[in-house]
A = this chain, B = another copy of it.
Amino acid sequence: MEPTAAQVACFEAGIKFGSLYHQFAGTPVSPDSADSLTAAMEEAIENQPYCEAVTVAVREDELREAIESAGADYTELTGRFLDVTMTVDYEGVVVETSMAMEDGYPLMQVETVRE
């Protein structure tokens, strides 16, 4: 069957998450550069169609700990340092999604679908 508007809205939300993650994973990041990176991630993904709002926060404690335990000045961005929320609006269907760590993996989830 052809997809419903709500299903397409969820597909669009998934595209944004995959884009955000795989575009920016691996970027050199430190506590000092975290703010410019999260701002860029938000604004870059908000360019994409149907994307109403993106918030990206870096878990600074986790980031500092990873950098210190490696005896380094920076590390590479990966899901364990990120909390993300995203709102997609496709033909009036509003999808709220999030990414956060669960059992050591960055879990991307649909929170709510409002038709």
Contact = CB atoms under 8 A, between A and B. Distances in A.
Interface in A28-58: 28-30, 32-33, 36-37, 39-49
Nearest to A45: B28
The count of identical subunits is 4
7 contacts: A11-B11, A11-B13, A14-B18, A19-B22, A21-B26, A22-B22, A36-B40
A46 to B, nearest CB: 7
Interface residues of A, number: 61
B27 A44 contact: yes
Interface string A99-111: 0000111001010
A43 B36 contact: yes
